[in-house]
Amino acid sequence: MMRQYELVERVTSYDHDADEALLNKAYVYAMKAHGSQKRASGDPYFTHPLEVAQILTDFKLDAATIVAALLHDVVEDTDATTEEIESIFGADIAALVDGLTKISRLDLVTKEAAQAENLRKLLLAVSQDVRVLMVKLADRLHNMRTIDHVREEKRKRISQETLDIYAPLAGRMGMHSIREELEDIAFRALEPVAWETVTRRLTELRAESGDIIEEIEFELKQKLKEHKIKATIFGREKRPYSVWSKMERKHLSLNQLSDIFAFRVIVATPDECYQVLGVVHQTWRSVPGRFKDYISNAKQNDYKSIHTTVIGPHRKRVELQIRTEKMDLVAEQGVAAHGFYKDIKDAAKSGEGVSVPAATSNAYRWLRRLVDMMSSSDNPREFLEHTRLELFHDQVFAFTPKGDLIALPMGANAIDFAYSVHTDVGNSCVGCRVNGRHVPLLRVLENGDEVEIITSKAQTPPAAWEGTTITGKAKSAIRRATKLAVRSQYAGLGREILDHCIERAGARYTPKDLEQAVKRLGLKEVDDALSALGRGELSSVDILSVMDIVVDEKTSKPFTRQKVGEKSTAIEVRGVDKNLPLKIDPATGAVPGERIVGIFTPGEGITIYPIFAQKLQEFEDQPDRWIDLAWGTDVSEKTYPARIQVVIHNEVGALAQVTQVIGDMHANIENLAMVTRERDFYDLDIVVEVNGIKHLTRLMKGLKNASLISSVERKEG
């Protein structure tokens, strides 16, 4: 725990005029006020406000802000009052503590309307004095650093709140160092497996890139030295959450992740920034579309820098950020870099309530615009929507013709929009107008688009839509609607079969007769029975018998729309007419124990595929060809083909080892081919005959354990 004199020394090191007596008094007051209170970790509670104060000294904030940090919980958690704080420490500090006390009572993870009102209160308090935000963010940062000590449910709630509100707010105010740390800690708490995976990959890439990084730094320094440009160069590793967000945004896998360092070049003046850019682009080829000049066009949070990406040594992509020392300070500290401790007295005299430099920053002006907007809007939901639009740059906000706002992930299209309005709107969607113009449904939406969805009662969403949408709601609704459509088609076929059989029997039936028969079969709905009949899972004789309709042997034969050959099959599966020819897809094979589906081809019969076969993607928009199949009960004494890919070392005896293992496992090789041949490895395509998934699993495990076999995988087609 930081000692009293250490805190005073930290503040006076950057603010020689700081009131040391005030700092000492606040330290003692807070320590006594919190007394024997403990945190969830078991540490004395006073360590928390002390750590918050220490974080703020890193940003060189004025003594009043440090005092407010020490006192920020005393009114909330002790017997102290705002009036007492004002009498001891003055009105300025009392106002800061009062603002922080009100914020601490807010619970932002609530229903939307309440969340909007709470966020409104938060920004109102911050707009009165931006130092309130500095303390609040430091408070949240230390709480997140010790988040492991709270129970899991609360940990996830606080982490989600941090990711939704506080981290974006820190970034919007330009305080990127705090934003990045908040994001990483929240990411680790919410997605521990993903965090560990990304962190491990970053460690691997760091080890692989060690020498290259030093080489790039050295070569860049030499080039700038030749042009007499004095610069500080250092590589900065990307943070886990930043990497994860990029992977999600650009649909990258971990294996595609290669660049984890962004090099910063710090120079004295803006002119030298452009000189460095010229040297870099003359030395290495630039990557098109990866250049941004934020010096001439600063971001809304005052961020200034030149960004460029070049193809550096060893044909490695090198990201460069070129800026001055002042720009770098603002990039890391945002509004906190505007020197509160220098002008706080002038600000107090002017009655503004904030320091003059902070008041002139773009980030602070953004905050003031939000507060002005609040005064012109009585609708807290509207305020929340507007604020989120400003905070979350990875979201798109579009509007219905009535003006309702719909929030969607970046990259969403009109189909996502339709399902976000209502599931029925999405299911019946046939077209759209964006900003009054007819456009394709797959067009990616942009912020501010007005989207009108055109619907039709006759529409059923195609299965292929699922692959074009990005929202979970749209995907699940399309999947559900597709299943219902397929069920309806099979039910129609089933009714046709049933009517045909009853007609041939010379009988009649009423809907009530069928309903009672279905109940006697143990099914809930008539369509369930008819769909099962259409699929071949239920015989028409079963239904007719419970309806007390007597049929002869001819009538009992299942009705089909067309005769498809006379060939029968020895493949034991359920869910299909036995008169239809069956074959197993040769590209993958299929074995009992794994889930299978059938694809019907008129004139050819049914091809059996394992559910993971890539070939099935070609039939996603043809749901009427899909048939649910299941393995029969008498499959144990037969063998079935499975195609596997085996990579072996280029060593004597490797192929013999493969055949030996397969023989020892009592399996048979139906076909073996060498697909590719490299210097060190052979890639073998093998079709083995096994009696089921357990047999295949044991076989593949045996192959993997062999010394000369590198890998074994199931072919997906």
Determine the Cα–Cα distance for residues 362 and 63; give it in Å rounded to an integer. Answer: 25
Are residues 329 and 215 both part of a single domain? yes
- CA–CA distance, 560 with 494 (Å, rounded to integer): 10
User: Does a structural domain hold residue 341?
Assistant: no
Per-residue model confidence (pLDDT) at position 689: 92
Range of weakest confidence among 55-64, 428-437, 455-464:
455-464
pLDDT in tens, 17-37: 899 999 999 999 999 999 999
> How does pLDDT run across 42-88, given as a tens digit for each residue?
899 999 999 999 999 988 888 999 999 999 999 888 889 989 999 99
Out of 40-49, 64-73, 148-157, 525-534, least confident range: 525-534
CATH number at residue 399: 3.10.20.30
Same domain, 607 and 650: no
Residues 430 and 310 in one domain: no
Q: Are residues 45 and 69 in the same domain?
A: yes
* pLDDT mean over 406-425: 87
Domain boundary among 320, 335, 350: 335
Closest alpha carbon to 530 in 522, 540, 520 = 540
210 occurs within a structural domain: yes
Indicate whether 158 and 20 sit together in one domain: yes
Least confident segment among 89-98, 185-194, 265-274: 89-98
- Of 135, 114, 116, 112, which is closest to residue 56 (Cα–Cα)? 135
What residues does 610 pair with on adjacent strands?
Answer: 596
CATH of the domain at 95: 1.10.3210.10
**Paired tokens of 233:** 């160069």
User: Do 233 and 115 share a domain, yes or no?
Assistant: no
Quickly state the pLDDT bin for 145 (edges 50, 70, 90): very high
pLDDT tier, 350 (very low <50, low <70, confident <90, very high otherwise): very low
Pairing of strands 605-610, 582-584: parallel
Q: Are residues 86 and 74 in the same domain?
A: yes
Report if residue 380 sits inside a domain. Answer: no
pLDDT for 173 beyond 80: no
Q: Which range in 246-250, 271-275, 380-384, 617-621 is most confidently predicted, on average pLDDT?
A: 271-275
Q: Which amino acid is at 433?
A: R
**Which phi and psi (to 5°) does residue 235 adopt?**
-90, 140
Q: pLDDT-based confidence at 588, cuts 50/70/90?
A: very high
Is 354 domain-assigned? no
What would the mean pLDDT of 489-497 be, rounded to a whole number? 77
Q: What is the pLDDT of residue 358?
A: 45
Report pLDDT digits (tens) over 653-696.
Answer: 888 889 889 988 888 888 888 887 777 788 899 999 998 888 99
Q: Per the domain annotation, does 348 fall within a domain?
A: no
User: What residue numbers bound the domain in which 695 lies?
Assistant: 640-714
Is the pLDDT score of 183 beyond 50?
A: yes
The pLDDT assigned to 387 comes to: 55
* Burial group, residue 291, by CB count within 10 angstroms (0-12, 13-18, 19+): middle
Reported as a single tens digit per residue, the pLDDT across 211-270 is 777 788 888 888 899 999 999 988 777 788 888 887 776 666 666 655 567 789 999 999
Mean pLDDT of 336-354: 44
Cβ partners under 8 Å of residue 354, min gap 6: 129, 130, 131, 347, 364
Cα 624 to Cα 475: distance, rounded to the nearest angstrom: 19
Number of domains in the chain: 6
Cα 601 from Cα 686, distance rounded (Å): 27
Catalytic residues: 76-77
Reported for 324-328, long-range contacts at CB under 8 A and 24+ positions apart, including other chains, are: 324/266, 324/267, 324/268, 324/269, 324/270, 324/272, 324/273, 325/266, 325/268, 327/295, 327/303, 328/264, 328/266
pLDDT at 558: 38
Asked whether residue 50 is domain-assigned, the answer is yes
Backbone angles phi, psi at 231, to 5 degrees: -145, 155
Predicted confidence at residue 344, as pLDDT, reads 39
Query: 174 and 201 share a domain?
Result: no
| Residues 540-563: tens digit of each pLDDT | 777 777 776 655 444 444 333 333
Same domain, 122 and 64: yes
d(CA 62, CA 341): 4
Answer whether residue 139 shows pLDDT above 50.
yes
The band of 579, judged by pLDDT with boundaries at 50, 70 and 90, is low
Lowest mean pLDDT among 285-294, 610-619, 640-649: 285-294
Average pLDDT of span 129-142: 87
Which tokens go with 595? 């889930």
CA dist 266 and 269 (Å) reads: 9
Q: Tokens for 10, please give them.
A: 């930290």
What does the pLDDT average to over 453-470?
A: 86
Largest interatomic CA distance in the chain? 107
pLDDT in tens, 298-334: 776 678 899 998 887 777 778 899 999 988 888 777 6
| 181 and 72 within one domain | yes
- Within-domain flag for 51: yes
Q: What's the rounded Cα separation, in Å, for the pair 474 and 482? A: 12
In this structure, the answer to whether residues 254 and 175 fall within a common structural domain is no
Rounded Cα–Cα distance for residues 452 and 442 (Å): 14
CATH code: domain of residue 250? 3.30.460.10
Amino acid, single-letter form, for residue 1: M
- 357-366, 432-441, 571-580, 708-717: the lowest-pLDDT one: 357-366
- Among 335, 355, 384, give the residue marking a domain's end: 335
3-state secondary structure of 649: strand
Element housing 341 (H / E): helix 340-350
* Whether 338 contacts 94, CB under 8 Å: no
- pLDDT value at residue 555: 40
* Residue 393 confidence (pLDDT): 46
Q: Which of 306, 335, 364 lies at the terminal end of a domain, its last residue? A: 335
- State residue 25's pLDDT score: 94
558 assigned to some structural domain: no
CATH of the domain at 691: 3.30.70.260
Q: What is the pLDDT of residue 267?
A: 94
pLDDT at 230: 92
For residues 402 and 444, state if they share a domain.
yes
